[in-house]
Amino acid sequence: MQDSTPFSFTLVITGAPYSSQAPQSALSFAAAAIRAGHRVDRVFLYGDGVQLASALASPPSDEPHWPREWSSFLEKHGIPGVACIASALRRGLVDEGEQKRYELTASNLLAPFTIAGLGEWVEGRMSSSRTVYFHGSD
Amino acid sequence: MTEIQTLHILNKSPEHPRFARCLSMAGPEDGILLIENGVLGLGAASARASGKLMVLAPDMAARGVNGGAESAEIIDYERMVELTTRAQQVISW
Amino acid sequence: MSTLIVIDQPPYGSWAGREALDMAFSLAAFDQPVSLLFCGAGVNWLRKGQEPGTIRQKSVEKNLAAAPIFGVEALLADGDDCNRYGLEAEQLLDGVTVVQADSQLFTNYSHTAFAG
């Protein structure tokens, strides 16, 4: 018996692309959730997961470009993608605002990802019907 | 379809300390879903898991794992999504 | 809607535990009930007398001492894992409750999460 009640998901990715499978698994899960008629409220990148939002990742051309695949998926479905600011700044991932604030030489945040605090995760935890985490496997 | 209390998503290889901890903390009303490197522990989990055991097909196929699945349900991402909506709680290890 | 944040990695050698602590403090800051469970090598967070100035890191002992002030409801430690690392009750930080981490424990919480 199929339960047809739509659910809403917050997905949290803590594993980095190219050092873990987490962003791939999360993308497959998100696509399946949408196909099943559910909603993905937001994707929150935490810890090493923030590297998924780097505009500077340049994998070999015969490998999937996971940051771009995620970026186009988020844009296509209008899903907010948020990188945790504390995780991002420590790991050298900044938007233009943070670039100016810290007087850095460049910014590297891939649109449509934004940078925000853990409050975004707390909000997702409270408002989505399920929060599912995708960790690295080391 | 039987309901599950907690869905444990286990992506660690059997060498990882979290693998054994997940198996020991999963109760008989729970489901354990092996994904990513976790599928390599299918044999170990079959012998020790007290809850319902499931394994993600694309991760099995990728690693050439096909033995030890007799006691596990082989599922796709659609079914994984459905399981997360049916479990009371989802824990990713 | 109580959340259990699990720390199973030792302090200083990796960042995942600190990021788990930040998650717990954030929930508490939004008045969401949250407890921390230390298990596996994570119980080493709870040892008294840490002096990480020697490796130019901030003391997690001080962070943890602030947890009740920030509104974290409980600091739980798995008893078997404390034994494994030779941690006697008097060596543990103040305010730690020793428990048995089993499937029953999870049923007290609506959410359980690792930081990575």
pLDDT in tens, chain A (138 residues): 455 678 999 999 999 999 999 999 999 999 999 999 999 999 999 999 999 999 999 999 999 999 999 999 999 999 999 999 999 999 999 999 999 999 999 999 999 999 999 999 999 999 999 999 999 998
Contact of C19 with chain A, judged by CB distance below 8 Å, is answered with yes
Residue C2, SS3 per DSSP: coil
Per-residue model confidence (pLDDT) at position A5? 78
CB atoms under 10 Å from CB of C1, counted, come to 11
* Alpha-carbon span A28 to B32, nearest angstrom: 19
Chain A neighbors of B35, CB-CB under 8 A: 25
Ranges of residues in chain C whose predicted pLDDT is under 70: none
Per-residue model confidence (pLDDT) at position A4? 63
pTM recorded for the entire structure = 0.96
* Alpha-carbon span C16 to C35, nearest angstrom: 17
Which residue among A84, A85, A94, A110 is the active-site one?
Answer: A84
Average pLDDT, whole number, for chain B?
93
* Alpha-carbon span B72 to B45, nearest angstrom: 9
Chain C neighbors of A117, CB-CB under 8 A: 26
B82/A28 CB distance under 8 A: no
Which of B6, B11, B21 is the best substitution to test chain A (most A C-beta atoms within 10 A)? B11
Residues A127, C1: contact at Cβ < 8 Å? no
Residues C22, C53: contact at Cβ < 8 Å? no
Which subunits sit against C, judged by 3+ Cβ pairs under 8 A? A, B
Tell me the helix, strand and coil percentages in chain A, rounded to 5.
40, 20, 40
ipTM over 0.85: yes
Q: What CATH number corresponds to the domain at position C56? A: 3.40.1260.10
Contact of A127 with chain C, judged by CB distance below 8 Å, is answered with no
Contact of C30 with chain A, judged by CB distance below 8 Å, is answered with yes
Terminal C-alpha separation, chain C: 21
Q: Which residue from C minimizes the CA distance to A120? A: C26
Give me the domains of chain B, ranges plus CATH numbers. Answer: 6-92 (3.40.1260.10)
Residues B36, B59: contact at Cβ < 8 Å? yes
Is A84 one of the annotated active-site residues of the chain?
A: yes
Contact of C8 with chain B, judged by CB distance below 8 Å, is answered with yes
Enumerate the β-bridge partners of residue A83: A45, A115
List the domain range (segments joined by +) for residue C54.
Answer: 3-114
- The tally of domains found in chain C comes to 1
Q: Would you identify the CATH topology of the domain A8-55+63-134? A: Hypothetical Protein Ychn; Chain: A, (3.40.1260)
What is the tens place of the pLDDT at every residue in B27-69?
999 999 999 999 999 998 988 888 899 999 999 999 999 876 6
Per-residue model confidence (pLDDT) at position B2? 58
Domain boundaries, chain A: 8-55+63-134
